Structure 1
Amino acid sequence: MTSTSLDIVAIGDAIVDVFATCDDAFLEERGFAKGSMRLLTTDEARDLYAAMGPGREVSGGSAANSMAGAAALGLSAAFVGQVADDQLGAIFAHDMRSLGVKFATPLIADPPPTGRCLILVTPDAQRTMSTFPGASHELTPAALDPELIRSASVTFLEGYLWGPERPRAAMLEAARIAHAAGRTVAFTLSESLCLGDRRHGVLGMIEAGTVDLLFGNEEEVRHLTGCGDFAECVESLSKHVATLVITRGARGAVAVESDYLVEIPAAPVERIVDTTGAGDLFAAGFLAARCRGRPLRACLETGSIAAAEIISHFGARPEADLKELAGL
């Protein structure tokens, strides 16, 4: 194995998030299940945006949020994701680079336009997401830079991109390149993997040894495995990956490595404002500690600290000094 010059390269949705508050009645009127994620057509995205209250725009996407957190924690990070040659695409690229995350994916012509996620936050801090993927689902293997992937200790793949054929092929190719170079491949689950028959493809990919480090929350893991009992979920997945990490909300998090299980409580939070990005920043904290050679419990604790910071304010990008909070 050759030496690395980059801690993490992530592949995921390149999305601009638009946040707005609403009451439960607004969700009910539109038939939205609180806390859910749904995909929008162009017309649906236009209609919902017009009906939302005042919004705040910030570049997002699950793996992109994780890389923003990783950079804030002192890691050298890069992101691969497709945007269009339009205003939101320029905003996304600027935001990532301003955070210190390397972003050099070639632009494509509009249409489709750069993707966006319309996030409705209710008074109980739950977020309901409606996503128009746009250009992000046009990512192909041709957009990959093999040398960039070989240079990273960890290649981090986002579950939201698993459904569309082209980005799925790009992620599988990135995993192949990473493993050929002796690198670690991490994969984060998402709600979208529970749609249709996607879970079978993901399970097959995991069972084939494509993933070394798997992240997911308790609900995602239950849907993926079909197990009702949490312990059965852990047993079902941990035998196929070197490291399994499961977040459990207020009940903390669990990690398993070689039959060694560690469980921690959630980090204390004075006031929960918005849960958007909690899992993304947990992954960032865990990976930051892992890349610094910290033991498994410390990795979980760092992830919990990062998640606690994110849910204390609106948005999925850190506002406090994560590196200082985590002691890295």
Structure 2
Amino acid sequence: MSRTPRIVVVGDVITDVVAVLSGPLVSGSDTGAEIRFSGGGQAANTAAWIAAQGVAVTLVGAVGDDDAGRDRVAELDRAGVDCAVDRVPGASTGTVIVLAVDDERTMVSQRGANLRLTAEHVERALAGAPDAGHLHLSAYTLLDAGSRSAGLRALAAARERGLTTSVDAASAAPLRRVGAAAFLTWVRDVDLLLVNADEATVLAGGLDPAAQGRVLSASARRVVVKRGAAGAVWVDRSATLSVAPARRVAVVDVTGAGDAFAAGLLTAWLAGAEPRAALDRAGDLGALAVCTIGARPTP
């Protein structure tokens, strides 16, 4: 395989407050949990997992001009991520409370400075990464009206520069709010679209995963449907269909598993791996992610 080019990741930088619950949440009373504060955000997590594979990566995002923002950038720097992260005066760094139990997670989000990411900042960051070969966009950037222009500009500017592009669909609830038709227009002709089972259902209806992939390949050139413990499916416009099973591991915390999966998929595919090999690499990293608490690689 060839060497993976620099990847530019655009999107959210977050502080995660992860609570791994001892059992189902007891409403109106106490539930025991192991709680950890750590770096999060779909884009930031994916960038950290890409860097952990020894691939050059630039993260484009926004944090507040606060201690949390400085901490988030510092930890990404230590992880080997090149940060083109704007510090926004008067805004707070985004925070997400993650409630994790078994193989499910529920998130309570304050988007903070992520809403203030601008098209101009994205443009400058891309100009500062002339060796980039690929742009990966967290769809949270598109799903939030405040940052949508930055997400759209990222995809357009990448195409103008001859970069390949990918989008992670991010989350089913905000996808449902903006509507499938609008979202699929925004991501039309991206080279790779990643969706989990819930997101695929929002965008393509309640079909089987291969059929969902075929429907979505009318908008994106390649589609990967992530199915958690059921594995993953790759579908592209040339009618290629590849299915990979999930790894059998003891699940501790699923936070960031999809981001690790995306990093493994991208680093393998951009280096020339065939679909099944890319899915296998993605599955390896996703399995590694669910074995520990938190969304980032273990130092």
Question: Against the structure 1 CA distance between its residues 251 and 54, is the aligned structure 2 distance closer, same or farther, given a 3 Å change threshold?
Answer: closer
Which residue identity lines up with residue 196 of structure 1 in the other structure?
R
Aligned residue in 1 for 2:185: 204
Aligned residue in 2 for 1:142: 120
2:45 to 65, 83, 94: 65
Aligned residue in 2 for 1:133: 111
Q: Distance in 1 between matches of 2:208 and 2:69?
A: 43
- The aligned runs of 1:125-274 (5 Å cut-off) are 125-144=103-122, 145=124, 146-148=126-128, 151-191=131-171, 192-206=173-187, 208-209=188-189, 211-257=190-236, 258-269=238-249, 271-274=250-253
Does 2:273 correspond to 1:308?
Answer: no
1:105 to 74, 85, 94: 85
Aligned residue in 1 for 2:8: 9
**How much has 1:194 moved relative to structure 2?**
2.8
**How much has 1:23 moved relative to structure 2?**
4.8
Aligned residue in 2 for 1:26: 25
Deviations 1:57-104 (A, max 9, x none): 111101111111111011100101110110100011101111110112
**How much has 1:6 moved relative to structure 2?**
5.1
Among the aligned pairs, what percent are the same residue?
33
**Higher mean displacement: 235-244 or 246-255:** 235-244
- The aligned runs of 1:47-126 (5 Å cut-off) are 55-110=35-90, 112-122=91-101, 124-126=102-104
The TM-score normalised by the length of structure 2 is 0.90
Q: Distance in 2 between matches of 1:14 and 1:173?
A: 19
Question: Against the structure 1 CA distance between its residues 272 and 53, is the aligned structure 2 distance closer, same or farther, given a 3 Å change threshold?
Answer: closer
Q: Distance in 2 between matches of 1:239 and 1:220?
A: 16
Alignment coverage as a number of residue pairs: 292
Which residue identity lines up with residue 136 of structure 1 in the other structure?
N
User: Over aligned residues, Cα RMSD in angstroms?
Assistant: 2.2
Which residue identity lines up with residue 127 of structure 2 in the other structure?
E
Aligned residue in 2 for 1:38: none
Q: Which has the higher strand share?
A: 2
Q: Distance in 1 between matches of 2:100 and 2:33?
A: 11
Q: Distance in 1 between matches of 2:45 and 2:4?
A: 21
Which residue identity lines up with residue 241 of structure 2 in the other structure?
L
- The aligned runs of 1:271-286 (5 Å cut-off) are 271-286=250-265
Deviations 1:164-216 (A, max 9, x none): 2332111111111111111111000122443323432112223x42x111001
Aligned residue in 2 for 1:324: none
Unaligned runs of 5+ in 1: 31-50, 321-328
Which residue identity lines up with residue 106 of structure 2 in the other structure?
T
Which residue identity lines up with residue 66 of structure 2 in the other structure?
D
Q: Distance in 2 between matches of 1:5 and 1:22?
A: 38
